[in-house]
Each structure stands twice: as C-alpha cells, then as structure tokens.
Structure 1
C-alpha cells in the first residue's frame, strides 16, 4: 500500500493557468537579455504604479510644477538628502527580508542532509520486516512534503496517501502539525525496532539525534512562517517611497524640464522595485517567483532515499519553459 504511489503522477508538480509559480532558474547570463527579462522580475508587479508616476510627471511638466496654480517650491537638494536616507532604510528592509530567505534556505538544506543520514542509518539496522522498513523510509520522505504543505497552507492529502497509504493519512488528517506527527511515528517505530533487536543502543541514539535535528529544522521554518517582519516597518517604508516618488517630478521639473516624466519613472522603478523585492522574499516559503522551490527539494529528498533503498527513482522536477522551478 505505502509503495503504490512511487510512479504515480504528482498533481502539485505542475502549475496550470494562473496558478502561482515558484523560483526562477535561469542559465543565461547575457547582459542584453537581462535588460529585457520580464518573467521573474518584479516589473510585472509595479507596472501600474510606474504608469501612475509617469502621469504625475506629465502633470508636473504641463503645470510647470504648480498644484492648484501655486508653485511647489521644491528643488533637487532636499530630494538628494531624502534619497540617501530612503536608500539606507530600503537597504535595512531588504537585509531583514533576505536574512529570512537565507535562513529558510539553510534550514531546508539541513533537512536535506538529515533525511539522507536518517535513511542511511535506518538501512544499517537489521531488518525485522520489509514492510516495516519501507514504511519507515516512506515516513522520512513524507516529512518534507508535509512540512512544505504546512508552510504553504496547501492540502497534503494526495502526497501523504501516495507515500503512507490511505489508512495512515486518515490518522494524520485531523492533526494540524503533520510534520511533527510524522516524526513522532518515526520515533515510535525506532523504539519498536530497538525492542525487537533490530537496532543497537548506538544506532538508536544516532537515529534519534537525526530526528531531533529534523524537529529543530521544522521549528525554525515555523518561526519564520509565523513571525513576519513587523507591519509598522512595511507601512513606513511604503508611505515614504510613494511620498518621495510623488513629489519627485515637482522637484525635477525646473532642472531637467521635458525629461522629468522619464527620469521620475526611472528613479521610481528603482525604489518601488526594491520595496517589492523586500516584500517578495520576506516569506521564503511562498509560491511566488522568488520563493524557495520546496517541491523540488522534497522530490530530491525522495529520490535520494529511494535510491539508497534500491527502489525506482521518480524523475526530478525541472524548470519549465518559463524557467520556473516549483
């Protein structure tokens, strides 16, 4: 039962229509192509804002920097000073967001290593039954899939049924933290194996240590998922960026004249894009184009464990034609 889904098609591996994609993987490094990249860039998210900023620039140019007939007394000096302060604040916000992304990446890297070690250690134990061994290894594979679905608020039923069977999946259905429930069952299976003489005290200690590490990695992912960057930072940055961009054309119109709308849009693109990137990577587990490819990592873990067990290996998840890796 637990091995029946090995070669089955996983419906969550391919996204159809407007379903969100995930990490962009590009091999091209050509400088000219990068200038016109659309898919994977945040430009698609801020086009409406840039159009609005261009319209504001046109208004500033047509009115010679006046609002309701009154000249707006702005020049480039205060914008230079404000721009420096805004750049520092944007850098702080992006660093905070990237720290979360980097930590999520390291946590899933540790999960990859720990699951391999756990499978290898279990295979070094004496067999007390082929079904028991396969179930233990399938639970190892099920752990990253369950964690992925929990972090993305998606349904884990299909993956768990294929890996663990319908009966065990039903037992997990009502549990909120399915990854920890799977680790708990792995630990109980380990102690049962030890009681039957299939694992020595040293092997039990080593395997239990890997289970504890997986529990720590899961807790780290939950911490990132459940504690977003304080909302006040996002609001302050959002208001400051938009206020700066809206006033910018009125400060430039006397200096650069007809080029005001174009230069305003260019500067606005930089600031708005940085804000959009910071928001995008603040949740590294989301299914956007800059999120971590959790499905691909989970499939890699499955391939590694099944290869160690001498089973058929499912195909890896590769980037699609749009360079999207889920």
Structure 2
C-alpha cells in the first residue's frame, strides 16, 4: 500500500496519471477518440444530417441512463471499499488479539519459565505470518530456529498454515492447564483470544474467496462501453468535432471509477492500493516479542 499525503494535490494527481490504470486506459482512449471522430465525420460530412434529425434526440436517452449509471457506479465503489475496509478491520482486530494474548500470557507465566514464554513469543506472531502467506497464496515456509520447540519448524506448507499454528497454540495452552500452571478461568480467558484469531482468519478467507459476482461486474463494463460509444451519435449536433475530446474524457472518468473498484475489492494483493499485511504481520511479531521478553 502506498502511503501519501492526501493534502498534496500535485503528487496525488501525478500518481493517478502515472498509475497502471491510466497506462492501461490510454490506448483505449485513443480508440474511443478515433471512433468519435469517425461518427462525427459520418454524420456531418457524409450523411449531412440536420439539427432536425431524430438522431439528435438520442441525447435524451443518455440523460436518463446517466443517472442510472451513476447509481450503479456508486454502489460498485461502495461495495469494493466495504470489502477493503472490512479486511483492514480484521487485521486490526488480529493485531489487538495478538497483543492481548501476549499480555495475558506474560502475566500468567512465571518469569523464569523461559521455555513456554519462548514458545508463545514465536508462535503468536507466526499465526499472522502464516495468514499473510495464505492470503497472498505464497506458501513460503518461515525459516525458524526452534531448538526447544521443533514442532513450529515442521509446519506443512501444503496444509492450512493458520490452522496448524492455532492448533499448536491451543495444545500448548491446554498442556499448561493440565500441568496446573494456569487455572480453569485463565484457560477460558485464553481460549477466547485463540478463538478470536481463527475468527479473523475465517473473515479474511471469506473476503478473499468471495469476489464480486461476475454477472454484476460484466454488466457494468458492458453498460459503460455501450453508453460511451453511443455518446457521439447524438452530441455531435451540439458539439461537432469536439466530441473527439469530450467522449474520451467521459469514458475515462467512468472506466477509471470501475477500475478503482476492481483494484480495492481484492485487498490482499500486491497493488499500491492493497493492504500492507506484510508490515502489519511484522509489527505483530515485534510487539509480541517485546511483551513476552519481559
């Protein structure tokens, strides 16, 4: 995710113009401009249509459909942003749960219990790291130097990483209870945090594995294309050859809004607008190790 100053208009506009979206759209804009010029030439020079032609009234249809299109695009961008913001809230919740779990274990475990404290110092952040790896579809095995707990280094890269780590954490917590190192009330308190971690994982999987329905996405694209390529047919009577600039600009605005929605609806990718879940996972590791090192 690119960090920027929203009050700096110059660099914000510069970023939009140099973004991948603009580079992808530019060739299409040239095509739309050429098409608009062709329609204008056909109506004004070849067919010699007058202002009284019924073709001029096509603009009425565009005025009516323009309102519908604006509602659809607003709903589209709001839906995409809701997915992005929901993903951010889930990773914020995971950060808080990891810190809280570390604080509780730091208070419950004796200071001289280096073995168990060392286990949780590495296993709690490992949940966020394996979740990051799972969401990025990059099952890279984390290289861990585990002498006291080799089970952490034996995670199966082909299996669900977060589930494996959560299972190891719960087994260790349950072992502390059976060994009378924590009470039943403390077990219940820790169980709530572990359950919260798996709930976050499930919510992130829901966002990742449930894209916007293809029928809805396809309809918007088709609507924008048909709406844009029919604009010069009616507006050429009032604008003339200026439609070669006006129509591509309108198309640019509409298609950019759609592409922004496409970009943020998948918040776990590598685009500049996607969430920095790698940095969040690193912060979780840093904070948990600081707490349990006390």
| Separation of aligned partners in 2, 1:93 and 1:163 | 47
Q: Does 1:50 align with 2:25?
A: no
Residue 147 (structure 1) aligns with: 131
RMSD of aligned C-alpha atoms? 2.5
Which 5+ residue runs of structure 1 have no aligned equivalent?
A: 1-22, 312-326
Residue 36 (structure 1) aligns with: 14
Change in Cα spacing, 1:301 to 1:62, as seen in structure 2 (3 Å) is same
Residue 138 (structure 1) aligns with: 122
- The equivalences for 1:171-182 within 5 A come to 171-182=154-165
Match of 1:73 among 55, 62, 66: 55
Which 5+ residue runs of structure 2 have no aligned equivalent?
A: none
Cα pair 1:175 1:181 within 8 Å, conserved: no
TM-score normalised over the length of structure 1: 0.80
Residue 106 (structure 1) aligns with: 89
Cα pair 1:24 1:290 within 8 Å, conserved: yes
| Separation of aligned partners in 1, 2:64 and 2:232 | 16
Cα pair 1:115 1:140 within 8 Å, conserved: yes
Change in Cα spacing, 1:39 to 1:260, as seen in structure 2 (3 Å) is closer
Residue 277 (structure 1) aligns with: 260
| Separation of aligned partners in 1, 2:44 and 2:63 | 18
Between the two proteins, the alignment pairs up a number of residues equal to 286
Cα pair 1:94 1:274 within 8 Å, conserved: yes
Q: Which entry has the higher C-alpha Rg, 1 or 2?
A: 2
Change in Cα spacing, 1:306 to 1:245, as seen in structure 2 (3 Å) is same
CA displacement at 1:63 relative to structure 2:
2.5
| Separation of aligned partners in 2, 1:271 and 1:305 | 45
TM-score normalised over the length of structure 2: 0.88
Q: Residues 110-138 of structure 1, C-alpha deviation per residue, up to 9 Å, x if partnerless?
A: 00100000111111122474133212221
Q: Does 1:25 align with 2:6?
A: no
Cα pair 2:145 2:153 within 8 Å, conserved: no
